[in-house]
Amino acid sequence: MYKILVVDDSALMRRIICDIINADSDFHVADVSADGEDAYNKIKTTSYDLIVLDMILPKMTGLEVLKRLSADKVPFNVILISSSLKEDADSTIKAIELGALDFVVKPIRSTPETREVFARDIMNAMKACIKTVSIRKGVFPKSEVPKTPAQPVEFKSSPEPAKTSNVSFSGADGSGKIKKIIALACSTGGPQALHTFVPMLPSNLPVPVVIVQHMPEGFTASLAARLNQISSINVKEAEDKEVFKPGLVYVTPGGKHMEIYENASHQPYCHLSDDPPVNSLKPCADVMYRSLTKSTLDEIICVVLTGMGSDGSEGIKNLKQYKKTYVISQEASTCVVYGMPKAVEQGGLSDEVVPLKSVANSIVKKLGG
C-alpha cells in the first residue's frame, strides 16, 4: 500500500481528497497538512510515495515548498492541485519544471459531475505517476531551471528559415513552401519532457513543430510562454487559422482539437475545433494525425513522448497508409509514463526509439542537418 501525504488548506477539500484516495486499496493517506510550512517539514522528515499538493497554501505556497525542497535536495514525488486561473497556471508550469510529476485541476463549482471528474483525474494521475516512484527514489529533482537553456543541436544550414526566401532547405522549397512538418504528442510527464526537448531544438529549424499535450484549458498558454523563455527556438500557443511557419513551435490550446489543413497555396495552417472529446481527450493527438492524411507534405515526422494511454498510435497507423511518415518514440526508461510511446512501438510504428535527450538530435539528423 502506497503512503500518501495530502496538503490543502481547506478542511473540506482535504476530506474529499482523502476519501477519494482511501477508496482505492492500493493507496493510503498517511498524513495531511493545512499549510505549506507544515508540509515542507513533514516531507523533509518523512518518506512518502506520493504527495498531493495544493498550489495555494498559507505560510508557503506549493511552488515555494518545491523550491525549498529542491534547494535542500530533498527528493519528492508530487502531484499538484491547481486552479485554472492564469497566475496558478504559471505557478503550476514552474512547479513542473522543478520536478512535479503531474497536476489536476480543482473544480470551480462542486457538483456530482465535477466531483466525479476530479476523483477520476486524481486517481488516474496517481496510478500513472506511482509507476515512476521506484525510478525516482534517490534521484534529486532539479534545484533550479538552468539560467542558460540546454544547448541546441547545431543545424548545418545557417540562415534563419523564416527570414530566407532563396535558400533551399530539406524542410521547405525555394518558394518558402513547407515540405515537412513535425507533429508531436505527449501526455503525463509531457510538460517535463517538453522542458528538456524544446530548448534542444535549433532556432533555425527549417520546419514547424506542432505539439498536442494533453492539458486542460488555461494552462497551455503558460506552458508555451515558459518554453519560449528558455528556448532559442520561438514557441507560441497556436491560433485558429494561422499558417504554420518554419522555426516555430506551436502548442495546441487546452480544450481544443488541432487539425492541420492546407490553404489554396498548399501552406499548412491551424484549425482549432470545439468538437467533443475523442476517447475522453481534448486535444487528441489522433485527431491531429488523421487530419494530415490529405496533406501535400512530402513527409511527416511524428514524435511520441511520455504519456498515459495510447493516444497517437491509431492516428499514426492511419497516417502511414497515406503519407511518407517517420516516427520517433521516447525510450521507456526516460518516460514518466511509458504508455503512448509503448503503444506506438509495440504497434510496429516506430522507426526510431531514443532517450528523451536524443530526440532533438534524431529530428535534426532526419532533416539532413
The residues assigned a catalytic role are 187, 214, 311
User: How far is residue 74's CA from residue 286's CA, in Å, rounded to a whole number?
Assistant: 39
Closest CA to 233 of 242, 224, 243, 222: 224
Q: Which of 247, 169, 168, 160 is nearest to 205 (CA)?
A: 247
Residues β-bridged to residue 62: none
C-alpha cell at 159: 540562415
Asked whether the beta carbons of 180 and 300 are under 8 A apart, the reply is: yes
